Structure 1
Amino acid sequence: MTVIDEPLAPVDPDRFRALLRRQAASVAVVTAAGDPPVGFTATSFTSVSLRPPLVSFCLARSSSSWPTVAGAEHIAVHLLGANQREVAQTFATSGINRFAAHSGWRPGPYGVPLLDEPVAWLLCRVTDRVSAGDHAIVLAEPLTGHHGEGSPLLYHMGRYAALQPTTKES
């Protein structure tokens, strides 16, 4: 067991961010129908429950996407592949029309934008929004989805990364 023999430092926002950068996370783009539609890159996507199926993601309530997501009945979550770094960057860029900057999408059920060629996507019905600090936790029930092939895009230490293929030992 490691003993900490230094004074305990408070976890302020900068230290919290530095600590959480050490956690590798899958990269997702969440989209919602609107006029215009919205989409944003999220690394907070996670499964919540199998029975019933539920997923969640977090979104800052100060985000330009929040007003649309706050009223959306349906959203889509796209798990990006290792070859989709540019898609992740586009949907993480503030102050641009993300759907004009990324032409690889089509309207899906309920008008929710569906991106081309993610590793997997889920079309979901929003079931709840929970206020949590300066963010909201959005809970959603998957209604349908699809998965393809490929390695996921990850985010770690402020950079996009991909899994390295493993070699089978003899």
Structure 2
Amino acid sequence: MTVTSLVDADLFRTLLRRHAAAVVVITAPGTPPAGFTATSFTSVSLDPPLVSFCLARTASAWPAVQAARTIAVHVLTREQEHVARTFAARGIDRFAAHGAWHPGPDGVPLLEGVLATLVCRVTQQVEAGDHTIVLATPSSGEHHADATVTPLVYHDGSYAHLKRTA
């Protein structure tokens, strides 16, 4: 194991690639609506229920997220790598390319066929470095009824999935 006393951007990125994370698509209403692939989503609190995600303020989705009162978090299934890639692509109409979505509360886009969806009310935005941490309270949610369906994860620079064991 290599130990260093200074963590530069390249080393930081390399270290974080060792952390496996669930892949989600976060959507926000707007004209046009915004959506992006994220691995920074996490639960924060059970009482009150809070979740968070981070977004660079230079991201194309940032203006819509910054203005949004309502966002939706979509946990992707292992078969939805194409959805993750679509919402990570630059310079395209991500919703037209994806196709399977409909407007939800406050016009937030809701993707169809995902493992779980949380519709959330944005409660706080905290600037942190070149990103903003968005805190949100879930107001509704639904999940895939089949417990054998597993999430898409991201690890070491590529998409992967979990293998269930008995």
Range into which the TM-score falls when normalised by the shorter chain: over 0.9
Cα distance in 2, alignment partners of residues 147 and 20 from structure 1: 28
Moved over 4 A (4+): none
Alignment of 1:33-52 (within 5 A): 33-52=29-48
Alignment root-mean-square deviation, CA = 1.2
TM-score, normalised on structure 1? 0.93
Q: Distance in 1 between matches of 2:34 and 2:96?
A: 11
Q: Deviations over 1:7-27 (max 9, x none)?
A: 624111110000000000000
- 1:49-60 equivalences under 5 Å are 49-60=45-56
Aligned to 1:84: 80
Gaps of 5+ in 2: none
Identify the residue that residue 153 of structure 1 maps to in structure 2.
152
Q: Unaligned regions of 5+ residues in structure 1, if any? A: none
Bigger Cα Rg: 1
- Cα separation, 2, equivalents of 1:146 and 1:68: 24
SS in structure 2 of the partner of residue 55 of structure 1: strand
State yes or no: 1:26 paired with 2:25. Answer: no
- Of 111, 114, 121 in structure 2, the residue corresponding to residue 115 of structure 1 is 111
Q: Tell me the residue number matched to 2:140.
A: 144
Fraction of identical pairs, as percent: 61
The count of corresponding residues between Structure 1 and Structure 2 is: 163
TM value normalised by structure 2: 0.95
SS in 2 for 1:10: coil
For residues 22 and 98 of structure 1, the distance between their equivalents in structure 2, rounded to whole angstroms, comes to 28
